[in-house]
Structure 1
Amino acid sequence: MTAAPPEPALRDYKDTLTDSRRWGAFTPRDGDIVVSTPPKCGTTWTQGILAMLIAGDPLVDAKTSMKSPWVDICIRDVAEVMARLEAQDHRRQVKTHTPFDGVPYWPQMRYITVYRHPIDVHFSYRKHVANMSVDFAADLFPDDLSRGFRLFLDGDHIDAVSLEFILTHYRETLAREPRENILRLHYADMTRDLPRTVARIAKHVGIDHPQALLDAIADAATFDSMKSNAHRFTPSAGQEFWRNDAEFFNTASSNKWEGKLSPEDLAAYDARMAAALSPEDRRWLEWGSA
């Protein structure tokens, strides 16, 4: 079936690693799924759940970087990525970190976005970069935690994640809601009740499995299970991209900043958040539905 014309992207996002203009090469199919999140908010977690739901198999080899690629990343030839997607004969999913104003919108597709407390994102990304086998954005993460945090607060960078980028991504999702083909999740809610999250994702994408299979997928999607099966779930696993594939799943903890940031650091963060979001929107971005 020929897809309806999309609502075009309103702006381009480009950095040292990604280019949102690559979406111009994407040919959609009805039912395609786009996972759109800021980095380190639960992207791979969500894609792993989707891989198991689509296959109907908790033991599926997700191979997310190859089977459900990051459309915007420039390290792979765009024609090769699109050819690989075109060859797939099952339900497809793709990944992006681009905010919704930089991604074409097709009403016949399904979109899932995930958020996490911004300070947890920052600390998780520090670990993420340290685990890379190449020095990427190292200058944005000095050893001094307070200095690195101020760079996070004051910058507008995309490739190494800034507070401004997280806020832009979140605001653009809110601007597109409510639409029935967009599901907004929160990392904290996923942690609190993973079986409910699996059920919500399955319902959103229209996949109907027996409850026993959904339970098995939820068990396989726990942090400990995905870390112990990093060869199936870590993007680019086995390609020496990471110093340790399992450490891609560093910890599933929250409040990573406790005892690490000064009162002045936290006051600066509070001021930025209070100016950027309503109390209700800020509360959800930080803590989810709790």
Structure 2
Amino acid sequence: MTEAKFPVKTREFCNHHFDSTVWNDFVFRDDDIVISTYAKSGTTWMQQIVSQLLFSGEEGLEVAEMSPWMDLRVPPKEVKLPAVEAQTHRRFLKTHLPVDALVFSEKAKYIYIGRDGRDVVWSLYNHHLNANGAWYDALNNTPGRVGPEIGPPCASISQYFDDWLEKDGYPFWSLWDNARTWWAIRHLPNVHMVHFANLKSDMSGEIRRIAEFIGTPIDESKWENVLKHCSFDYMKANATKSVPLGGAFWDGGAQTFIHKGQNGRWRDVLSAEQNMQYEQRAQSELGSDCAHWFATGELR
């Protein structure tokens, strides 16, 4: 039997959001869970799901506080690392980094969520459009930023999509870079791939598979509570518990952050040419099988 080859960190990734050096000093526990996505691909939803599995459908969990975004450079690692080390529950952490910018643990469990890039952009635009002055101040003016500031989005979501595609994730970061590295390790025993569309169509089945992967038995007497608390309506109504800083960085608060949770909103906006450009780029950047999975959630 071929021994699994685990990835090794080869670079740092730092910008207005990221400080990947936090992972260099992070001390793993063998039961840690790391939730990874490209931005706006279902991260908060997965954090809620994992919290519900670990705490058997408990209500009122402070998920954003319990599950920090490790590589977000605000607050700095000098503040973040001691706080995470002090946690006594089974830790479930968030990252938006490509694999080769992480320190990878052979014993931790990694859950990766994929989503069609066009759906990502629609959600990302809402996130960016409704960001307030505190968000810009934290990202641009906190010491340690690498590279240019992030500014307000353009007025047209169609233009926003074109810029994101043409400039490889502008003004955030590359989807392709992120996707390729996680797809490459999908067969590792401690990596579990989940697709946003499959969570939408079969949330119950997907949550049971996640529970099996992280080794958390389901208390069937609490199962209906788990499903209720992972529903979009519940999360929208209780958004301050799961959104960073209770939504203080967005106009309209936490309910703006948890926006619609819908796919396909781009279909009536993007032209045939724009869709063709996206699909051709996905094929060239990811390869046929990976591009198909990101678009549909179907493995082939």
Q: Is the CA contact (8 Å cut-off) linking 1:18 and 1:159 kept in structure 2?
A: no
Residues 1:155 and 2:167 aligned together: yes
Q: Aligned pairs, how many?
A: 279
- 1:76 maps to 75
Q: Which runs of 5+ in 2 are unaligned?
A: 1-5, 137-149
Q: 1:200 Cα deviation (Å)?
A: 1.4
- 2:249 maps to 241
**What pairs up with 1:113-262 in 2 under 5 angstroms?**
113-134=112-133, 136=136, 137-139=150-152, 141-157=153-169, 160-161=172-173, 165-237=174-246, 240-243=248-251, 244-262=253-271
CA distance in 2, matches of 1:31, 1:252: 30
Amino-acid identity (%): 28
- 1:51 maps to 51
Q: 1:157 Cα deviation (Å)?
A: 4.4
Per-residue CA distance 1:180-220 (angstroms, 9 max, x = gap): 11001000000001111211111111111222323321221
CA distance in 2, matches of 1:209, 1:225: 20
Segment of structure 1 superposing worse, 113-122 or 267-276: 267-276
- Normalised by the size of structure 2, how large is the TM-score? 0.87
CA distance in 1, matches of 2:60, 2:86: 19
Q: Which amino acid aligns with 1:283?
A: H
Q: Secondary structure of the residue that 1:72 maps to in structure 2?
A: coil
- 1:24 maps to 24
Q: Is the CA contact (8 Å cut-off) linking 1:110 and 1:182 kept in structure 2?
A: yes
- Normalised by the size of structure 1, how large is the TM-score? 0.90
CA distance in 2, matches of 1:59, 1:268: 44
- 1:3 maps to none
Q: Is the CA contact (8 Å cut-off) linking 2:229 and 2:235 kept in structure 1?
A: yes
Q: Which amino acid aligns with 2:217?
A: D
Q: Secondary structure of the residue that 1:218 maps to in structure 2?
A: helix
Q: Is the CA contact (8 Å cut-off) linking 1:68 and 1:95 kept in structure 2?
A: yes
Q: Which amino acid aligns with 1:24?
A: N
Q: Is the CA contact (8 Å cut-off) linking 2:33 and 2:109 kept in structure 1?
A: yes
Per-residue CA distance 1:14-49 (angstroms, 9 max, x = gap): 111111111112111111011110000000100111
Q: Which amino acid aligns with 2:103?
A: P
Q: Which amino acid aligns with 2:115?
A: R
Alpha-carbon distance change, 158 to 111 in structure 1, aligned in 2, over 3 angstroms? farther
Q: Which runs of 5+ in 1 are unaligned?
A: 1-5
Q: Which amino acid aligns with 1:56?
A: S
